[in-house]
Amino acid sequence: MFQSRTHTCGELRLTDAGKEVTIVGWMENVREVGQNLAFVVLRDFYGTTQVVIETEEMFSAVKPLNKESTISVTGVVRERTSKNPKLPTGDIEVVPSEIKVLGRCRYNELPFEINFSRDADEAARLKYRYLDLRNPAVKQNIVLRCNVVSALRQAMTEQGFLEITTTILTASSPEGARDYLVPSRKHPGKFYALPQAPQQFKQLLMTAGFDRYFQIAPCFRDEDARGDRSPGEFYQLDMEMAFATQEDVFAVLEQVLPPIFAKYGTYHVASDAPFRRIAYRDAMEIFGTDKPDLRIDLTVQDATALCTATEFGPFQSAEAVKAVVVSDCKLARKAIDKLLAEVEVQSGEKSYWCKVDDAGNLTGGVSKFLQDRRDALTEALGLKPGCFVGFTAGKTLAAQKTAGVLRNKLGAACEGHMDKERYEFCWIVDFPMYEIGEESGELEFCHNPFSMPSGGLETLLKAERGEIDPLEILADQYDLVCNGIELSSGAVRNHDPEIMVKAFELVRLGEEDVKAKFPAMYNAFCYGAPPHAGIAPGVDRMVMLLAGEDSIREIIPFPMNKNAQDVMMGSPSPVEQKQLDEVHIAIVGDVEAE
């Protein structure tokens, strides 16, 4: 028994023939086929059932109703004469004796056809998300999300982790993205911030003596949207372990994730443990990215020595020239031009090409500039008849990144070079601790400032004394990557106040700055903190991969649009002056109406 119904719309079978039942749901479709004869498709969360209208009384009950009205149908189940093998309920139908209207749809026209909502304009889908979610295909992604979150919770609990929820209203902290600020009513001129991540709280839990922590944590960042990132808020499987090393963290996720991906994924093959470990610099050199898609068998090769001495301008002036070789490439000239144009749009840099004909000669593209180096290129790059060679050139990092984009495009476009139907995980390790900021031109943290530098205090002291370049310092940081998408960043944490202060001094912040910016962590670490490490895979990205979706909005119940607006609720929205006065906020200057 389900509430006011005896069965769901996905439950009835031929064995139920002859039973009197009550089903409820949305009137998905009405097909009139004669006088007082019609077929109604009734849909609920569980499926659909056909209802056959055969009397004037029942016909008059449904005739005035618009589609998507909710009704209750009581009647007898019978075998269908014209069965539908595509439906679980396709062998039966219900002949009603009573129809009640539970919720009338008052609009003759819907914003879109429910079962084809994914074909509708995105703005309409987001505005009428409650209708979009009635589409079983859309709803299934949310069901998948629920199942995955449940499986993650169970797996983490089985690994001995405690689920502990952390604070939402907290202090602003410099963690790399913009904070969402919340004004304080009781403390004029002061603000809470929504946490960009529970980073500090989970580390404080380690200092408090908890051994293994996790939560499905909401995180808030005021940043722009993209295909694999939702603006505003997102969720992550946040975890931390005391007295732990990098390998301890790896071991947990290598046990937790593969079974979930194999069970719930669009593809039912996932990497076995241990996942491949790839150093950051190797990843950039071999794959052109620190997020390599290991389903693609292509690699990036260095062609600098052979190509910079040519008369081709972009090669002559380049710091590095990279090559991606594709064997047995069948791409036509038009397809090549289109692919290279896509690479330029995505990377902002041009790429170049040539082919190897059946006689071993270089043809097309930039081949005329390489003829005197044909034999050397053939040997160095392993060229064979039928090969396609894509080139990138420029500053080393730019050439690498462009080659990475080229590799991905070629892998997807050229048959036989990408095994799409699987999940390939890898760990990217040995990240640089510092980098030169693009805007500041000065030394900055490359990733998480709370990470332990490899070699500890001694390495930092060597950099301070000028014995090593700070850019050569590695951090005990790691990224988890799956199918070319970064699922998470993590690190062994810097739990020693002396090491923490020294790490910040290299970026021009002293002990007082550290105390001011991270008072709770600094003070807690002074009371004897355990070595600890953690990571936080993104739940939204994980589910997006499992569902085989290209946009993260498809797996979020009520997503914002690309401009961080909730068009369904009308958020963000203006508020009354009284509300502003209560939190001591004044709007200064003109505010453009949207």
Please state the separation of Cα 129 from the chain's center in Å.
20
71 by Cβ neighbours in 10 Å (0-12 / 13-18 / 19+) ranks as: buried
The number of beta carbons lying within 10 Å of the beta carbon of residue 282 is 15
pLDDT at 159: 97
The domain made up of 296-413 has a fold known as Gyrase A; domain 2 (3.30.1360)
CA distances for 298 relative to 295, 325, 411, 509, 594, angstroms: 9, 7, 7, 43, 48
- As a whole number of angstroms, the distance between CA 533 and CA 492 comes to 4
- As a whole number of angstroms, the distance between CA 300 and CA 321 comes to 10
Give the alpha-carbon dihedral of 275, 280, 285, 287, to 10 degrees: 40
Please state the separation of Cα 479 from the chain's center in Å.
14
| Of residues 313, 249, 318, 267, the one with CA closest to residue 480 | 249
pLDDT digits (tens, 9 = 90+) for 110-161: 999 999 999 999 999 999 999 999 999 999 999 999 999 999 999 999 999 9
The angle at the Cα of 154, spanning 152 to 156, to the nearest 5 degrees, equals 65
pLDDT at 446: 86
Q: First CA to last CA across the chain, in angstroms?
A: 49
- What DSSP state is assigned to residue 272? P
Mean pLDDT of 29-55: 95
Mean pLDDT of 563-586: 93
For 104-196, list the strands marked E by DSSP: 162-163, 180-183, 191-194
pLDDT cut 90: percent of the chain above it: 88
- As a whole number of angstroms, the distance between CA 112 and CA 121 comes to 9
CA atoms within 13 A on the CB side of 418: 17
Q: What are phi and psi of 189, to 5 degrees?
A: 85, 0
- As a whole number of angstroms, the distance between CA 163 and CA 157 comes to 8
pLDDT digits (tens, 9 = 90+) for 506-517: 999 989 988 988
Q: To the nearest whole number, what is the mean pLDDT of the chain?
A: 94
- What DSSP state is assigned to residue 40? E
pLDDT at 175: 62
- Judge if 14-103 and 296-413 fold alike in CATH terms: no
Please state the separation of Cα 566 from the chain's center in Å.
19
What are the residue boundaries of the structural domains of the chain, listed by start?
14-103, 296-413, 425-531
Most confident listed range (24-28, 434-438, 550-554, 571-575): 24-28
pLDDT digits (tens, 9 = 90+) for 212-248: 999 999 999 998 877 677 888 999 999 999 999 999 9
- As a whole number of angstroms, the distance between CA 556 and CA 558 comes to 6
pLDDT at 592: 64
pLDDT digits (tens, 9 = 90+) for 369-412: 999 999 999 999 999 999 999 999 999 999 999 999 999 999 99
- As a whole number of angstroms, the distance between CA 90 and CA 10 comes to 10
Q: Kindly tell me if the per-residue pLDDT of 172 is higher than 90.
A: no
The angle at the Cα of 168, spanning 165 to 170, to the nearest 5 degrees, equals 120
| Of residues 184, 102, 229, the one with CA closest to residue 487 | 229
Q: Kindly tell me if the per-residue pLDDT of 589 is higher than 80.
A: no
pLDDT digits (tens, 9 = 90+) for 481-506: 999 999 999 999 999 999 999 999 99
pLDDT at 591: 67
Q: Kindly tell me if the per-residue pLDDT of 65 is higher than 70.
A: yes
Q: Element (H or E) spanning 96, and its range? A: strand 92-103
pLDDT at 234: 94
- As a whole number of angstroms, the distance between CA 170 and CA 193 comes to 5
User: Can you name the residues that pair with 482 across neighbouring β-strands?
Assistant: 425, 485
- As a whole number of angstroms, the distance between CA 461 and CA 463 comes to 5
- As a whole number of angstroms, the distance between CA 48 and CA 89 comes to 7
Mean pLDDT of 199-210: 96
Question: Where residue 438 falls among pLDDT bands split at 50, 70, 90?
Answer: confident
Amino acid identity at 349: E
pLDDT at 594: 53
pLDDT at 3: 65
Are 213 and 160 within 8 A, CB to CB?
no
Tokens of 507: 């970026």
How is domain 14-103 classified at the architecture level of CATH?
Beta Barrel (2.40)
Are 256 and 156 within 8 A, CB to CB?
yes
Q: Kindly tell me if the per-residue pLDDT of 593 is higher than 60.
A: no
State the Rg of the chain over Cα. 30
Alpha helix segments (H runs only) across 395-496 = 396-413, 456-464
Q: Kindly tell me if the per-residue pLDDT of 201 is higher than 90.
A: yes
- As a whole number of angstroms, the distance between CA 177 and CA 328 comes to 45
What's the chain's length in residues? Answer: 594
Alpha helix segments (H runs only) across 92-169 = 122-127, 129-132, 136-158
pLDDT at 231: 84
User: Can you name the residues that pair with 445 across neighbouring β-strands?
Assistant: 434
Please state the separation of Cα 424 from the chain's center in Å.
15
**172 vs 495 pLDDT, higher one:** 495
| Of residues 527, 478, 512, 494, the one with CA closest to residue 247 | 478
Are 557 and 118 within 8 A, CB to CB?
no
CA distances for 576 relative to 417, 585, 587, angstroms: 59, 11, 12
pLDDT at 275: 97
- As a whole number of angstroms, the distance between CA 542 and CA 257 comes to 10
Mean pLDDT of 74-101: 96
Question: Where residue 309 falls among pLDDT bands split at 50, 70, 90?
Answer: confident
CA atoms within 13 A on the CB side of 354: 22
Mean pLDDT of 14-40: 95
